[in-house]
């Protein structure tokens, strides 16, 4: 099974997030939208609200699961047996940042981004 996680704060989920998820549905058997929590970050919406927004947006999509997690994304991937991390890019700076993280994740765990 090709299982991917799409991590983020989703505060709130945007059309850009939605587009990435819709594109990913055709690539993976399951996508877990993983809402990361950070005690040092001030959120506009609480965790339950963010989770509810996403669940409503994808209520008819069986390949989508929504979950929350704390800690490192790579540890969460291992916990849920995800083989892939789905990410989006807004600009060239995002590409360089994501490339470095993808390289580290692959080296540490073999997970593809």
pLDDT of the residue at 38: 85
- Among 17, 4, 108, which Cα is nearest to 58's? 17
Superfamily of domain 3-109: HUPs (3.40.50.620)
pLDDT of the residue at 60: 96
Residues 6+ apart with CB under 8 A from 111: 74, 77, 82, 83, 84, 85, 105
Write b or e for each residue in 28-67: b if 16 or more Cβ atoms lie within 10 A of its Cβ, otherwise e. bebbbbbbbeeeeeeeeeeeeebbebbeebbeeeebbbbe
The mean pLDDT values, 10 residues at a time, for the chain of 113 residues are 96 96 97 93 95 97 98 94 89 73 76 75
pLDDT of the residue at 86: 96
pLDDT of the residue at 1: 92
pLDDT of the residue at 46: 95
pLDDT of the residue at 95: 72
pLDDT of the residue at 108: 74
């Amino acid at each position: 099974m090709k299982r991917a996680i799409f991590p983020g704060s989703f505060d709130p989920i945007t059309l850009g997030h939605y587009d990435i998820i819709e594109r990913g549905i055709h690539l993976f058997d399951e996508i877990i939208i993983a809402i990361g929590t950070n005690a040092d970050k001030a959120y506009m919406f609480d965790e339950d609200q963010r989770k509810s927004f996403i669940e409503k947006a994808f209520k008819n999509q069986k390949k989508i699961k929504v979950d929350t997690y704390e800690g490192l994304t790579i540890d969460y991937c291992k916990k849920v047996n995800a083989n892939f991390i789905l990410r989006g890019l807004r600009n060239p700076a995002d590409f360089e940042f994501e490339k470095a993280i993808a390289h580290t994740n692959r080296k540490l765990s073999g997970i593809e981004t």
